[in-house]
Amino acid sequence: MIEGELMKKVDLMIFDFDGTLVSTGADLIQAINYMLNTLTLKEKPEKEILSFIGDGISKLIEKALGQDHIKYHEEAMIIFTDYYGKHLLDNTGLCPQVGKVLKYFGNKTKIILTNKRYNFTSAIAQGLNIAQYFVEIIGADSTPFQKPDRRVIDYILNKYGVAKENTLIIGDGINDIAVAKNSGILSCAYLNGLGNRNDLLNLKADYYCEDLLEINSLFY
């Protein structure tokens, strides 16, 4: 059998950012605990902060503050965004095999779709020299909709004129798989990112990978 017949043809590849392309966890932990310290609140354990990532900065801060301290949300946002904007590349680097994957799919139309703010995402992508691989970066503030709202996918499909069945999202979070299911595109869950492994398995994505390099043999 021809190799291509074993693989799935895709015309558009959508990549999640935090935990899929880039290991941003350490700098996000640092920024959240800096914010908590500044507000004279107790620091959170690293694992707990990592579990808060995926729904954007506002939700991240809301979860980090907890209901008892939600009154500080506006002040916390200012402290966090100012600090994180200055330190977002302190410890952040590419996830394993990202360079090989992006080069392998060099001729494929690729987009970053993240619930992280555009300016932070763009700064990190530029700083780590991967921005040139993508035709567009769509952040939380780029459109009125965020993952898992299907309308953010509708926007992409309409703009690039691709069919749902030939569009793939690769991500490590439940929002990535949920937005695929909500919109009818294909999903590939990366099981070794920031997302909870069991949650991802329970969502029954179309494809799974332990190592990002595996997608090179799943799609063409």
Secondary structure (DSSP) of 45-63: PHHHHHHTTTS-HHHHHHH
> What local confidence, expressed as pLDDT, does residue 95 receive?
97
> What local confidence, expressed as pLDDT, does residue 3 receive?
41
- Residue 134 makes CB contacts below 8 A (sequence gap 6+) with 15, 110, 111, 112, 125
> What local confidence, expressed as pLDDT, does residue 90 receive?
98
Mean pLDDT calculated for residue range 153-157: 98
Q: In the predicted model, is pLDDT for residue 129 greater than 50?
A: yes
Confidence of residue 22 (pLDDT cuts 50, 70, 90): very high
> What local confidence, expressed as pLDDT, does residue 2 receive?
38
Q: In the predicted model, is pLDDT for residue 173 greater than 50?
A: yes
Q: In the predicted model, is pLDDT for residue 87 greater than 70?
A: yes
> What local confidence, expressed as pLDDT, does residue 6 receive?
79
Q: In the predicted model, is pLDDT for residue 194 greater than 90?
A: yes
> What local confidence, expressed as pLDDT, does residue 4 receive?
43
Mean pLDDT calculated for residue range 25-43: 97
Mean pLDDT calculated for residue range 106-110: 97
Q: In the predicted model, is pLDDT for residue 44 greater than 80?
A: yes
CATH topology of domain 3-23+92-217: Rossmann fold (3.40.50)
- Considering the entire predicted model, what is its pTM? 0.94
Q: In the predicted model, is pLDDT for residue 5 greater than 90?
A: no
Q: Which two tokens stand for residue 153?
A: 């996918």
The sign of the torsion formed by the CA atoms of 104, 107, 112, 113 equals negative
Q: In the predicted model, is pLDDT for residue 1 greater than 90?
A: no
> What local confidence, expressed as pLDDT, does residue 138 receive?
98
- C-alpha–C-alpha distance, residues 124 and 128, integer Å: 6
Among 202, 197, 173, 151, residue whose Cα is nearest residue 21: 173
Q: Which two tokens stand for residue 16?
A: 């999640």
- Residue 98 makes CB contacts below 8 A (sequence gap 6+) with 21, 22, 130, 212
Confidence of residue 196 (pLDDT cuts 50, 70, 90): very high
φ, ψ dihedrals at 184, nearest 5°: 90, 10
Among 202, 166, 204, 161, residue whose Cα is nearest residue 184: 166
φ, ψ dihedrals at 196, nearest 5°: -75, 120
| Average pLDDT value over all residues in the chain | 96
- Picking from 36-45, 48-57, 89-98, which range would have the lowest pLDDT averaged per residue? 48-57
Among 135, 105, 137, residue whose Cα is nearest residue 18: 137
